[in-house]
A and B are shown apart, each in its own frame.
Chain A
């Protein structure tokens, strides 16, 4: 009965090895004693809930606006399509030969740590290969939005499916608790011709305007 046990011993050793390896991997993955270095978005200001004890007896308030408001001046020829859904603003642009482009302004919670993933997603939308992290700076230009230096990405290539030359311009304004994404996308010729207008649009942005948003 024990004559065939060499292979069983081997199996037993493998199983023990697996258990030990799994235990070590598990212990390494525990919420433990390591020094971590990272970038993180800033915390919101101390919340009213902790700052104001009398608020406990008050009825629920309206949700606070999670982000500062923006105002901008649209260049001539841009058709204001207004806000809606995720968009804080959107515009349509019509060129010659039925070329079209659209501009959207979207507020998102996080930008830090997502740069490469987002850029590669946009590059995928115009059929470009993915970038590695060290290549990202070569494909990043700078633009000033509301007095803050912000990254600007310019990507052009054939749209998957149609093969039509398509260009995407994206600028990201990363603020303390929110990142504003300004994106122009459309036919290559029209977007290339509108790049100066897009830059002027970005430079017209002001933060927390005293009056309602300015189309």
Chain B
């Protein structure tokens, strides 16, 4: 049994099949991207053990192909077992060992990058500075004590808790939250007197949130909303609607453009209340990643070829202010020229077609970003070494002949 498994996993036929499967998967994923979008395709085809087919008109799903993780892990096992089976130590095989080490590092590095990499976005308007970036695919419910004039004390709860509709005692604060309504993917509608079944405070007097009708793009992030009832030390303090419609700057900007002057003023006000002499605020918002430095947008340029609307260049001139290092410098970020800073890479990613002052930078934290480079160096060295170990004896023999 062990012998059979060993033969199977060290087989070159398996290598060939896996390479073909990888090619098919990449081809199918590329085609699927047109309909599913980049994010969903990556998750369904490459960050998965199995590719599922959802049978139309039913709730069934059938596994149709191995996913990226399965193929990657099998490749890794195949390479490792084949190396143990066929490799014989010696200076003439050092090149092969280096090539194998490079490929293993490449596979492991990509696997770890998939697990450890965090992608967030930093949206800035000219003149605006932020010391955080946001993950607009994951929401968090922030309960903040805003009494201190300088800083907020924040308890950030995962938004997934809202779906469970359980009561939650907020850690650190004398508050308890109860979810009265939860909408996974919401759209705002103007509230009228009878639209809320219970009295609400804050923005809920003007707006309430209902499920989005119809299907939305699988690649689009959901926009959650919830109606929360807050009690403090057993006393009902009120009920507030919270939603990323109110906190995600892009969505809030869209909502603001649609709203009248009175609603715009209401949108600008926080969902806040006072209890036991402390001031609190509720916000369902994209999950924030704070940094020990701030990035300020000085200038955003969207250059076009003269006389056309064809983009020529996008660039963001930003200022980095790091109080820990007293760093205060300007950096120009533009297409294919990201900023690498404090373990993160800032790419020019997007802009707001409605506002020429707004830039969107993609912020990627990938602890394994160096592994592909090291892997390529190892493979190149291995190939060169292997070539030379064959070439040198051959030249010697040829001269003697």
Q: Which residues of A are in contact with B by a Cβ distance under 8 Å?
A: 2, 8, 11-12, 15, 19, 22-23, 25-27, 29-42, 44, 46-53, 55-56, 60-66, 86, 106, 108-114, 117-118, 121, 148, 174-177, 179, 181
Contact = CB atoms under 8 A, between A and B. Distances in A.
A110 B326 CA distance: 11
A51 B326 contact: no
Contacts of A31: 118, 135, 138, 287
Given A15-B80, A35-B156, A110 B294 contact: yes
Contacts of A121: 324
B141 to A, nearest CB: 10
B356 interface: yes
B355 A29 contact: no
Given A26-B112, A108-B321, A109-B129, A66 B296 contact: yes
B150 interface: yes
Contacts, number: 168
Contact of B128 (A37, A47, A60): A47
A88 to B, nearest CB: 12
A40 B149 contact: no
A29 B116 contact: yes
A36 B252 CA distance: 25
Given A41-B151, A118-B324, A177-B129, 7 more contacts: A32-B158, A37-B154, A41-B150, A46-B268, A61-B357, A63-B126, A117-B324
A42 B146 contact: yes
Interface of B: 2-3, 6, 73, 80, 84, 108, 111-112, 114-116, 118, 125-129, 131-132, 135, 138, 140, 146, 149-158, 160, 171-172, 249, 252-253, 256-257, 264, 267-268, 287-288, 290, 292-294, 296-300, 321, 323-324, 326, 328, 352, 354-358
A15 B126 CA distance: 50
A35 B158 contact: yes
A121 B114 CA distance: 36
A112 B156 CA distance: 17
Given A39-B152, A61-B357, A50 B256 contact: yes
A69 to B, nearest CB: 15
